[in-house]
Amino acid sequence: NETAVTEFILLGFSSNPVLRLSLFSLFSVLYSASLMGNALVFMLICLDYRLHSPMYFFLCHLSIVDICYASNNVPHMLGNLLGQGRTISFAGCGTQIHLYLIFALTECVLLAAMSYDRYVAICHPLRYILIMNWRLCLTLAAVSWALGFTFGTLQASLALQLPFCGPCKVDHFFCEILAVLKLACTDTTVNKVLIFVVCLCFLLFPLALILISYLYILDTALRSWSVAGWHKTLSTCGSHLVVVGLFYGNAIFMYMVPGSDNASGREKVLSLFYSLINPSLNPLIYSLRNKQVKEALLNLQGRKRVF
Q: How confident is the model over 242-251, as pLDDT tens digits?
A: 778 878 888 8
Q: Which residues of the chain have pLDDT under 70?
A: 1-4, 84-85, 166, 224-240, 258-264, 286-290, 300-307
Task: Return the pLDDT at 11.
Answer: 84
- In the chain, what are the domains? 7-305 (1.20.1070.10)
pTM for this entry = 0.88
In this structure, how many other beta carbons lie within 10 angstroms of the beta carbon of residue 20? 17
Task: Return the pLDDT at 102.
Answer: 95
CA–CA distances in Å: residue 14 to residues 72, 83, 167: 21, 12, 19
Task: Return the pLDDT at 254.
Answer: 82
Q: Which residues pair with 88 in a beta bridge?
A: 8
Q: What share of the chain is helix, strand, coil (3-state, %, to 5)?
A: 80, 5, 15
Task: Return the pLDDT at 39.
Answer: 92
